[in-house]
Amino acid sequence: MTRPSEDIECVRSLLLAGLSQAEVARQTGVPRGTVRTWITLGTDSVLVARRAHEHAVHHGAGDCELVRTVPESQYAYLLGLYLGDGCISLTHRPGVFRLRIALDERYVAIIAECQAAMARVLPNKVGIVQNPGCVTVGSYSRHWPCMFPQHAVGKKHLRPIALQPWQETIALTRHPRLLLRGLIQSDGYRGMNRIRGRYSYPRYSFSNRSDDIRGIFLEACRRVGIAARPNGPWQVSVSRRDDVALMDTFVGPKR
């Protein structure tokens, strides 16, 4: 049975107050097994997923006006960044979510491009937080769960990630190059591959622990007509000269 977010919030505050699992179960009427599961998954992440679900139901899932009118090229690019290094979290304001994308602080052009795309996808203020070695680009909205319905409990590589049909249309059918640009800019790079210290040639690598996200990368390459192949357990490479040259026309080195 799915529980409303109020139950999860109750359980969380009683746990924070130091009550035992048994006491929390008794006071809230939430079964002890459920309380234990929430503790294992993290009450916060359960709460975010539940709120996102309630939001989608309230909204009439897939019926969001902002999704229907989203600027497609910026969306495809932002989806790539989100799948690579994004997350959606709860805020203190009910029904408001925060999208955050973590980027390497060295790549100022990528940070600026991410910021611009985020502001186009949902027209709210986009903030930048500087952390040691990395920068977080973030924005608040009620609609992030509508934009990225992949949002759920747990790390992306530990759960299935499937694009919805409207996302496939935008990102795989219409703008696979921009999706690839976002994916490479978050979880990939263009570098030199050296062979026995003598020969070197440029290649692209994409690395993500989720089989599904690597599958999305491979499918986007296929749509563009680029050969990409697995290279190690979590990595995919593009190394044929023509393919690298084609990738260079819409990705290029990170900067």
- Smallest gap from residue 141 Cβ to Zn ion (A): 8
Q: Which of 44, 5, 45, 55 lies closest to 28 in space, CA to CA? A: 5
- Smallest gap from residue 12 Cβ to Zn ion (A): 25
Examine residue 64 and tell whether it contacts Zn ion (CB under 5 A): yes
Q: Check: CB of residue 145 under 8 Å from CB of residue 52.
A: yes
Q: Which range in 88-96, 138-146, 153-161, 226-234 contacts Zn ion by CB under 5 A?
A: 138-146
Residue with structure tokens 């979590």? 234
- Smallest gap from residue 70 Cβ to Zn ion (A): 10
**Interacting residue with Zn ion among 98, 143, 181, 203 (CB under 5 A):** 143
- Smallest gap from residue 182 Cβ to Zn ion (A): 21
- Output 64 or 238, the one with its CB closest to Zn ion: 64
- Output 144 or 206, the one with its CB closest to Zn ion: 144
Q: Which range in 75-83, 140-148, 202-210, 242-250 contacts Zn ion by CB under 5 A?
A: 140-148
**Interacting residue with Zn ion among 146, 184, 238, 247 (CB under 5 A):** 146
Chain positions contacting Zn ion, by CB under 5 A = 64, 143, 146
